[in-house]
Structure 1
Amino acid sequence: MILIGQSKLTLKDFSDIVFRNEKVELDAAAIKNVKDNFEFLQNFSSNKLIYGINTGFGPMAQYKVSEENLLQLQYNLIRSHSSGNGALLSPTFTKALMIARLNSLIQGYSGVHTDIIELLKSLINNDISPCVFEHGGVGASGDLVQLAHLGLVLIGEGEVVYEGTLQATADVFAKLNIKPLSIKVREGLATINGTSAMTGIGMVNIAQAHKLLNWSVMFSAMTNEVVKAYDDHFSHELNIVKHHEGQNKVAATFRNILQGSKMIRSRTDHLYQPDKIGQEVFEDKVQEYYSLRCVTQVLGPILDTINNAEHVVVNELNSVNDNPVIDHHHQNVFHGGNFHGDYVSLEMDKIKIAIAKLSMLSERQLNYLVNDKLNQKFPPFMNLGILGFNFGMQGVQFTATSTVAENQTLSFPMYVHSIPNNNDNQDIVSMGCNAALITAKVIDNAFAVLSIQLMTLLQAVDYLQCEADMSPVTRQLYTDVRKIFPKFIEDTPKYRDIERIKQYLQTNTALTA
């Protein structure tokens, strides 16, 4: 049980709810604070002009709304902005979105009734996924369109995915005895006027990016291992003179993974011997290709980028991100722009650039393994059958190359792609939800590329018959994955193998860098 409202949610808390189906509970003190905040707004707003309570919205805020229409105004807002298009967000993303919205509202600065807090808790704990579309929000007055679809479900309308099927919200609520939200003051605006879609998706992205980084370190280490690389490029002594935290963490993880390997070579033992200096041409490369030798320098900044993004997006997760801010402690209502998604948008763009580079490293290591002219150790395309008759990993390399090319194109930043809209009221926007969704695509692509690299590494181990010489860590991974991807010699379709290994990587973890 994860307690919401008592202290800041961490990435681990968030992941436990989203990926491990931990239930949420609401802190009693936080609930009382929300109640006090709501009662303050009710009294404070009775004879004052306050945006979104007795005015229209956006550029229509110049129009006063009559007393008898105030509650209908909130319903109108939700219904009119339920205008999304494209694919539905996955249940994982909609659950993440609801956690983010709940955690913002429970801060007690949104002027909402406690009913909405309790209802969000019920949706999360019952695995009810509102139908939210990927296209709509520009991420500057919050994720208006995506969150409006959440609001539509809260008031008992629209559709949800429940128990794996698309169903009418009203039917599911009736089945589970859930009461739809009855708006009291500003629950419509408070629901849609925030960054919770981009933040929720962003948190999922960061959790998955951490996994990718750790798998990339693992596969980079295995690649070095099977080609019998030298150990100095991941040594403490070489990396410590470069003062970057990420690089040194990657190097330390690299060493932990390869501890006990009988295949990694010492330069001192193999190249620093007197008999070597007399040779005119060296059989072994004196230094490995960059995709093997510069792993700590390539993955180090990616790790630092992911860690920084985690810090920023966790801060957003625990922030009040709607407008206006209802501050009962200071007995005032403050108008501003906390709904603006620039913090999340910029971090998502950084993440997708970093993960695109990670997938590029994986593709280069894969190319090294399947190109016999480069590695001079393995048959072409890691073909364990008859050359010219069988094809080995030739077909799947095309998929890896194509997927990396897509990642490179998707890496163009959304953060600088502002288009004014809303009668130019929203004249500079973040495109934060778009940034988060494109980043999710880049991450998903990267898992596919790494899956193909792992398939190739396992074939390399079988070609060398070196399982007994591997480190305990890499040998265990070889054993585990061979259970779902057996050694192959004859040509068979590989698309199911890619998907099985991809799911394995997405649901399991490697050593942490």
Structure 2
Amino acid sequence: MIAVGGKTLSLEDFASIVYKDSGVQLQAQALENVDRNYAFLKQFSTEKVIYGINTGFGPMAQYRVGEDKALQLQYNLIRSHSSGSGKLMPALLAKAVMVARLNTLMQGYSGVHTEVVDLLAELINKNVVACIYEHGGVGASGDLVQLAHLGLTLIGEGEVIYEDKVQPAAEVFAKLGIQPLSIHIREGLAILNGTSAMTGIGMLNIIQSRKLLDWLIILSSITNEVVCAFSDHFSYELNIVKHHKGQNWVASAMRTVLKDSKMIRNRNEHLYEADHVKQQEIFEDKVQEYYSLRCVTQVLGPVYDTIAHAQKIVTDELNSVNDNPVVDHHNQNIFHGGNFHGDYVALEMDKLRTAITKLSMLSERQLNYLLNDKLNKKFPPFLNLGVLGFNFGMQGVQFTAVSTVAENQSLSFPVYVHSIPNNNDNQDIVSMGCNAALFTKRVIDNTFEVLAIQMMTVLQAVDFLACDELMSSKTKAVYKAIRAIFPKFVEDTPKYKDVARVKQYLEQQDPLAFINDFVNVESATGTAR
């Protein structure tokens, strides 16, 4: 069980709840604080005009709502805004949204009855997940439409995902003995008004982005091995004079992965001190590798730094109060403003999406180098281990990698600057944060496909050279693990199931399982992860 409330919910905590079904336990003192906050709102709101309690919403706030209709107003808000369309979010994403909203409400500034957080915790622990649609949120006044669908679940209406099936919420609640939420004062607005959809999705994006970075460091290391690259481009001495944490982290990680490789060459031995080289006018080997091999630390370093910054910002948002108004029982007041605005998350998702697109571009360039015999002058065209001209090797899947990277490039247009006024111009500048987070997820999913194809290709390269015994212990462990699900092939067979299987493996398997001291480079470079 992961304690929620009273402390910062970390990325690791979040991952444990969403991916490992660790469950949540509401921290007792924080729960008492939520109760005191509700009691204050109940007393303070008597005979006062407070937005969303006895007024309409948005541009309709000028209209007073009578006390006899105040509770129905909250139900009307939830039902009217349950207007999402497009695809249903996968259960994993919807669960992330629920965890993010629970953590915000547990800050104790939302004026909700404890029944709300108790119910959210119960649903999370029983893996009853709200049906939330991708389309609908503009990311100011919060993720109104996505969170309205969460609200619809909480009042026992609409549908939920339970046991991998979409089922009526009322039926699942009755089956499990779950009591739907009853509105007390402002629970409808408190559920809808916040950034929890973009934040929940954003947290998962950061988790998966870290995996992509680790996998591409491994793939870059194997690629350097099979072409017998020189070691100086990831050396400490070369990288330390560039004062970027990310670059030095990537360089240190590559040294960790390749430290016992028998294939990486030392420039002193092969160029500086080799007598036969001194007599050559034209060198058989390239003195420097192509950029996609030689500039890994400079390309992936900014990706590392971007992920690290996004992690800080989105984790801060996860642990923030993003309601309006803010119910502050400590200062005995209610403050109206715009904490629901999603610009922080939207901007980080745009930057993260751009960084992951660049990561996919590096993967595709390394793939192209391995497949193009005119470039590498070492492998058969398309790493075809069969008969040239008769068999095709990895030729077909290269098209998939290239088209997928092209889609990533198209999706990298920033959403942060794509505001469209709406809501009778009440929301005249918006973040589009949920769109930004969802587009980033798509780019991440695409990039796992590209890395899967590169992984399949480097394994074929290893087998062409029969060099697995010369690889580093860490890259050899990866080679063996992937070969167990994707065997060496010579004859042509359909590859779409292989790509899907390797992609799923990369998504689900932690690369640190193979390189367990990979993470120790943090202390050496002074970076945090």
Decide: shared fold, TM above 0.5.
Answer: yes
Q: Indicate the residue corresponding to 1:350 in structure 2.
A: 351
Letter in 1 for 2:29: A
Question: Could you tell me how far apart the structure 2 residues matched to 1:164 and 1:107 are?
Answer: 31
- Relative to the length of structure 2, the TM-score reads 0.96
1: CA distance, partners of 2:34 / 2:22: 24
Question: Which residue is equivalent to 1:55?
Answer: 55
| CA shift digits 1:284-303 (9 cap, x unpaired) | 00000000000000000000
Letter in 2 for 1:225: E
Structure 2 partner of 1:66:
66
CA drift of 1:278 comes to 2.2
Q: Corresponding residue for 2:444?
A: 443
Seq. identity, %: 68
Offset at residue 277 of structure 1 (A) = 2.5
Deviation at 1:259, TM superposition (A): 1.1
Q: Deviations over 1:203-258 (max 9, x none)?
A: 00000000000001110011000000000000000000000000000000000101
Matched, 1:297 2:290: no
In the aligned structure 2, how far is the partner of 1:464 from the partner of 1:9?
Answer: 48
Q: Is the 8 A contact 2:341 2:430 kept in 1?
A: yes
> In structure 2, how many angstroms separate the alpha carbons of the residues matched to 1:352 and 1:313?
14
Distance 2:166 2:95 in 1: 15
| Alignment-derived partner of residue 8 in structure 1 | 8
* Deviation for aligned residue 1:47: 1.1
* Structure 2 unmatched runs, 5+: 513-517, 520-529
Where in structure 2 are the equivalents of 1:267-278 lying within 5 Å? 267-273=267-273, 274-278=275-279
Deviation at 1:465, TM superposition (A): 0.2
- 8 Å contact from structure 2 (residues 199, 314) kept in 1: yes
Q: Cα deviation per residue 1:34-63 (whole Å; 9 max; x = unaligned)?
A: 000000000000011000000000000000
Q: Which SS does the other structure have where 2:181 is aligned?
A: coil
Shift of 1:98: 0.4
CA drift of 1:108 comes to 0.4
Aligned to 1:432: 433
Residue type at the aligned position of 1:145:
V
Aligned equivalents of 2:257, 2:352: Cα separation in 1: 25
1:393 aligns with 394
| Cα distance per residue 1:45-91 (max 9 Å; x no partner) | 00110000000000000000011000000000000000000000010
Q: Does 2:465 match 1:464?
A: yes
Matches of 2:459 and 2:26, distance apart in 1? 47
1:192 maps to which residue?
A: 192
Q: CA deviation at 1:457?
A: 0.4
Q: TM-score, normalised by structure 1?
A: 0.99
Structure 2 equivalent of residue 477 of structure 1: 478
The corresponding residue for 2:121 is: 121
* Residues 135-175 of structure 1: CA deviation (Å, up to 9, x unaligned): 00100100000000000010000001110111100000000
CA distance in 2, matches of 1:165, 1:18: 18
Moved more, 69-78 or 269-278: 269-278
1:192 counterpart letter in structure 2:
L
Write out aligned runs for 1:234-383 (5 A). Answer: 234-273=234-273, 274-383=275-384
| 2:138 is aligned with 1:154 | no
DSSP-derived class of the 1:189 partner: helix
Amino acid at match of 1:360: M
- Cα distance in 2 for partners of 1:465, 1:508 equals 26
CA-to-partner distance for each residue in 1:9-53, whole Å, 9 max, x for gaps? 000000001111101000010110000000000000001100000
Matched with 1:139 is 139
Q: Which runs of 5+ in 1 are unaligned?
A: none
CA separation in 1, counterparts of 2:230 and 2:345? 40
- In structure 2, what is the equivalent of residue 502 of structure 1? 503
Amino acid at match of 1:391: F
Between Structure 1 and Structure 2, how many residues are aligned?
513
* SS of residue paired to 1:46: coil
**Mapped partners of 1:261, 1:383: distance in 2:** 25
Give the conservation status (yes or no) of the 8 Å contact 2:6–2:107. no
